[in-house]
A = this chain, B = another copy of it.
Amino acid sequence: MSNKDTEHIILNAATEVFQSKGMDGARMQEIADKANINKSMLHYYYRSKQKLFEAVFKTAISIMAPKLTEIIEKEEPLFDKIRNFTNSYISLISKHSYIPTFIIHELNRNPQILEDTFVKKFGNSFGKMKTQVNEMVENGEIRPIEPEHLIMNVVAMSIFPFVAKPILKAVLQKDEAAYQTLLEERKTHVADFVINSIKIS
What is the interface of chain A, defined by CB distance below 8 A to chain B? Answer: 20-25, 98, 101, 103-105, 107-109, 111, 114, 118-119, 122, 124-126, 143, 145-146, 148-149, 151-153, 155-157, 159-161, 163-168, 170-174, 182, 185-186, 189-190, 193-194, 196-198, 201
Contact = CB atoms under 8 A, between A and B. Distances in A.
A84 to B, nearest CB: 18
Contact of A105 (B101, B118, B190): B101
Nearest to A152: B161
B160 A21 contact: no
17 contacts: A21-B24, A24-B24, A98-B108, A103-B167, A104-B105, A111-B166, A114-B166, A122-B171, A146-B185, A146-B189, A149-B189, A152-B172, A153-B193, A156-B159, A156-B160, A157-B157, A196-B196
Q: Give the dominant DSSP class at A's interface.
A: helix
Contacts of A118: 167, 170
